[in-house]
Structure 1
Amino acid sequence: MAVAIKALNARIRANPVSDYFCSTHFWGPASNFGIPLAAVMDTQKDPEIISGKMTLALSGYSAVFMRYSMAVTPRNYLLFGCHIVNFGAQMTQGYRYLNYWNFGGREASLSAKAKEGLSQAEGALDKTVTQAEGVMRDAAGNVKSKAEDLAGQAKAQADRVTR
């Protein structure tokens, strides 16, 4: 069995493509790509949930490992690509964090949410007023029709009495 495994390993290592595909130079960065993918997806979320400390730590981590990927022999371009994507995403998150918490983004966001809430409340109030006007018109029509019926009945009784 050991001989078969050695023969299979020798056959894999003889082909440069399969040798690379079966190495840690491929699978390390491939499995590490979850971090930059998550960072890129997080750029679409609310900036209030961004952790400034974690963003700084991940930026430093990516910068160190970009350097490491070029220092090893052979150079690991896939690892470099993984960390340059993560570094870019973390820098974007860092800008969003600073803009939201330090440069007035939070106040602008809260102001926009307040205006949106106010316009929704005004819309709901207008809808309620329109509904109330409709109910009042219907009630006035009903009262008028009942009054006309009662007036007709009173007139009919008055005519009977006077005859």
Structure 2
Amino acid sequence: MAAFVKAINAKIRAHPVLNYVCSTHFWGPVSNFGIPLAAVADTRKSPELISGQMTFALSIYSATFMRYSLAVSPKNYLLFACHFINEGAQLTQGYRYLDWHHWGGREKAGLTGAVEAGKETAKEVVAKAVEQK
């Protein structure tokens, strides 16, 4: 049985693509892609839910590992791509957080909601006036 496993392993390691797919240089970044996928999905959620501290920490984390992915030998471009996407998503989230909490985004949203409610009320009043004629 051990000879069979050694023979299969040698055949896999002899093929460059299969060797790469069976390495941690491939599976590490692939398993790590859940972080940027979640971050990109979170850009559609309300900015009230964003944690400024966690966004900052994940931005530093991704910047660090972007640098690391190019410093190792051989360079791990898949890991770089993973953290590049995450860095972009975290910077977007950071902007949304600052806009909502520090640059008046919450107040703008409140005014927009009040204007929309006023428009609906005006439509109801016009509809009732038309009915009474």
- What TM-score does the superposition give when structure 1 sets the normalisation length? 0.76
Q: Which amino acid aligns with 1:43?
A: T
CA distance in 1: counterparts of 2:17 and 2:99, whole angstroms: 45
Q: In structure 1, list runs of 5 or more residues that go unmatched.
A: 135-163
Equivalent residue number for residue 111 of structure 1: 111
Equivalent residue number for residue 30 of structure 1: 30
The sequence identity of aligned pairs, in percent, is 59
Give per-residue Cα distances to partners, 1:46-102, cap 9 Å, x unaligned: 222211111111101111111221222211110011001100110111011111111
Q: In structure 2, list runs of 5 or more residues that go unmatched.
A: none
Structure label with greater radius of gyration: 1
CA distance in 2: counterparts of 1:127 and 1:69, whole angstroms: 63
Shift of residue 126, structure 1, vs aligned partner: 2.8
Give per-residue Cα distances to partners, 1:77-136, cap 9 Å, x unaligned: 1001100110011011101111111111111111001111111122233334444x27xx
CA distance in 2: counterparts of 1:27 and 1:4, whole angstroms: 24
Q: Which has the higher contact order (CA 8 A, sep 6+)?
A: 2
RMSD over equivalenced CA pairs, Å = 1.4
- Distance verdict in 2 for CA 1:118–1:14, change over 3 Å: same
Equivalent residue number for residue 123 of structure 1: 123
- What TM-score does the superposition give when structure 2 sets the normalisation length? 0.92
